[in-house]
Amino acid sequence: MKRREFITLLGGAAAWPVAARAQQRERMRRIGVLINLAADDPESPLRVAAFALGLSQLGWTAGRNVQIEYRWGAGDADRIRKYAAELVALAPDVIVGHGSPIVGQLQQLTQTVPIVFVSTADPVGAGLVASFARPGGNTTGFAIFSEFSISAKWLELLKEIAPRVTRAAVLRNPTQLTSGAMLGALQAVAPALGMDLTLIDARNAGEIERAVTAFARSPDGGLVALGITATNIHRHLIMSLASRHRLPAVYPYAYWVRAGGLISYGPDQVDQYRLAAGYVDRILKGEKPADLPVQAPVKYELVINLRTAKGLGFDIPPTVLARADEVIE
């Protein structure tokens, strides 16, 4: 072989590892995302956008180096089982799951595909991870509540904005573990607040409407919606009933209030999708879920809708307004 041809060949060989590394960096990765809302829920595109933004800030672009498969559970157990199985069958590099029911289903199907959860209450109590610091297994993520005393704050807030209220309807799901834990915190503080609690199952629209309508026939009542999937799925109905029956109501998330609810106190669910993109990035780059600690919210938002307060015919106390992170006028 001539010297020139040998040098040319040698140079090309030296470039192979570089080209291979570049190709490996740009190879298509697959992410599954199972969200416990309907695809046409107004919140759904906001969560998708937040996740996409978080990924793009870290160099991941859909269609270029990552393929994202979205599925929508819509609070339906059968759909969750179906779509969880679909996503696991795709053998993705990582799956993002919203809430304990979805994550629990995914864990039944795979112990190897990494799972990053968002908006999940008490992941340790639910048996999804061993601890916040050392989650173990193939699962980690972002808890929506690290403990349940926040539900007591919802009842306290209801009493503060409407002191005349002595009866509170609590919308819950009796089959959900976290619903029971939140209810326990409410029941612990209710006597000191002079409040009687009425439990309303929020599993379907019919039972919500019947129960809230019956509750509203007696005076001095208000509503507390627990921060669970069932109330979130039916939030527009719940807010409509509160308005129709002129019931002051406290909600778990700000987007309820931006859509017409009265007042909320809780963490930002949409931002958890942006944060989850960071853990997905680290997993795609080789880190293990077991080594990534579960993160709890660091900030809770108090949001008030003064237009809704005016429609209900009462004023928000100045002491509450002074604490608000956002006031809608």
Report pLDDT for 26: 66
Q: Per-residue confidence at 299, pLDDT binned at 50, 70, 90?
A: confident
Q: What is the pLDDT of residues 21-70, one digit of tens each?
A: 444 456 899 999 999 999 999 999 999 999 999 999 999 999 999 999 99
Q: Per-residue confidence at 308, pLDDT binned at 50, 70, 90?
A: very high
Query: Nearest to residue 140, comparing CAs of 288, 299, 297?
Result: 288
Q: Per-residue confidence at 282, pLDDT binned at 50, 70, 90?
A: very high
Q: Under a CB-based contact definition with an 8 Å cutoff, are residues 168 and 145 in contact?
A: no
Interatomic CA distance for residues 218 and 209, integer angstroms = 15
User: 274 versus 148: which is more confidently predicted?
Assistant: 274
Report whether pLDDT(8) > 60.
no
What is the DSSP secondary structure assignment for residue 298, as one 8-state letter?
S
Q: What is the pLDDT of residues 98-144, one digit of tens each?
A: 999 999 999 999 999 999 999 998 899 889 999 999 999 999 999 99
Mean pLDDT, residues 316-328: 96
Report whether pLDDT(251) > 70.
yes
pTM of this structure: 0.85
Report whether pLDDT(86) > 90.
yes
> What percentage of the chain has pLDDT greater than the value 70?
92
For residue 28, report the phi and psi dihedrals to the nearest 5 degrees. -70, 125
What is the set of domains in the chain, with CATH numbers? 28-146+268-291 (3.40.50.2300), 149-267+301-328 (3.40.50.2300)
- Give the pairing of strands 249-251 and 263-266: parallel
